[in-house]
Amino acid sequence: MELLSSEDFKNTKIEPEWTAMDYLLEVVRVEPITSYPSKPLLPEGLKRHIVENMGGSNCVLVIQKQLFFSDVNPQASRLLIPFSQVESHEFLNESEVERLKNKEAIKACLVEPSMEETEINFKWWDMRKNSMYVITT
């Protein structure tokens, strides 16, 4: 990535109501994002596996998350799911919400892309400024 210098702005017209970002967009010729991709759909094979093999229903996508080293670090042994990134919290029933609020873990099944099933612990961490679900084994 190339850094901008004052030379890059020498032919830029000055508009009093513009912000610094407006000038940057003018010089770099970046178009602001006006539309976002649609939310991803749950793969049909995964839905079918949940319904036919696990007795599930009302399949919903809870989160699609880019994984970082902290998510796959063997020393951490946990996957964080920030509330702010969850599509809908309605995947839990009332008794599950109560159990999580009481700091109880819920045994759940994680389905891998290969459809291999792994038992996990699903918890709720209530932090000072935000809350998150966490998956541990």
Q: List the one residue out of 88, 128, 124 whose CA is nearest residue 106.
A: 124
Looking at residue 132, its pLDDT comes to 92
Angle (nearest 5°) at CA 74 between 70 and 80 = 40
pTM over 0.75: no
84-113: pLDDT as tens digits: 889 888 889 999 999 999 999 999 998 888
Helix (H) or strand (E) holding 108: strand 106-111
Token representation of residue 47: 């839905």
Cα separation, 38 vs 27, whole angstroms: 30
Q: Per mean pLDDT, which range of 12-16, 59-63, 93-97 is the poorest? A: 12-16
Q: List the one residue out of 99, 119, 111 whose CA is nearest residue 133.
A: 99
Percentage of the chain lying above the pLDDT 70 cut: 71
